[in-house]
Amino acid sequence: MGVEEWMRSSIEMFFREHPSPTQQDLDEHAKAIVQASSVRPVGMQGACSYTVIAGTDTIVSFRIPESPLGGRLDKLAHVIHGDVVPLATFHGVIDYSERIRIEKRFWDVFWDATKIKTVEEQEKIKYLVEQAAKLGLLLVSAFKFDEDRNHGWTDSLLKDEKVSFSGVSESPETEPIKQAGDAQAKRAEIFQKKEAENVQGKEAEDSQGKE
């Protein structure tokens, strides 16, 4: 078995035993850490880790929690051997909860379907989607009243969201969202007034009936 074949076999075995996150997930994460356009696996893979070279010469290693090797051993090796052993930096634990994986999968499919490739355009679209999500929360909250018709928390939310939308009103792309938010907030305000009038009318009728 050649070195390359052995490397592929080791990687396949590692991800067969640890299917999540996937090899593609870790490759993308390594690119993000180093701001590199490509990664390639190292020739000698460990049994408890997946290691790649990101960019030209930066080594990124992903280790499972059970790995006997860790940051302390890396630092100790650097102290003992000096520059022969590169200084390692810790970049945190990858949180691949189901929600994050679903969100990532959604955007992967979305970018592929829309052919939007540049990071700048993708970030702009994500921002607009987040604002739209806030608008959805605003609408749900505006029309969800409790039995006592206590609107104090709703008024506060409407005020906060209108400030949020006005903060991005200078951008031509976000102006429609801002306008929609203001319009819906106005409708919610009118609805609240009508509800208050209905309550007052009902209370007046009840009072007359008692007399």
Q: Which residues pair with 63 in a beta bridge?
A: 49
DSSP-derived 3-state class of residue 116 = coil
**What pLDDT is recorded for position 182?**
62
**What pLDDT is recorded for position 206?**
64
**What pLDDT is recorded for position 158?**
45
Question: Phi and psi of 133, rounded to 5°?
Answer: -65, -40
**What pLDDT is recorded for position 41?**
92
C-alpha triplet 143, 144, 146: angle, nearest 5°: 130
Tokens (6 digits) for 101: 């994986």
Q: Which residues pair with 60 in a beta bridge?
A: 52
Q: Do the beta carbons of residue 88 and residue 108 sit within 8 Å?
A: no
**What pLDDT is recorded for position 150?**
52
Whole-angstrom Cα distance, residue 158 to residue 147?
20
**What pLDDT is recorded for position 108?**
85
Q: Which residues pair with 61 in a beta bridge?
A: 51
Q: Which ranges of the chain does DSSP label H, i.e. alpha helix?
A: 3-17, 23-34, 71-81, 98-114, 119-142, 152-166, 175-210
The pTM for the full model equals 0.43
Strand order in the sheet with 39-41: 39-41, 49-54, 58-63
pLDDT beneath 70, residues of the chain = 1-3, 68-70, 95-102, 140-188, 191-192, 199, 201-211
Whole-angstrom Cα distance, residue 6 to residue 8?
5
For the beta carbon of residue 206, count every other beta carbon within 10 angstroms. Answer: 10
Residue 57 DSSP code:
T
- Count Cα atoms within 13 angstroms, Cβ side, for 133: 6
**What pLDDT is recorded for position 56?**
86
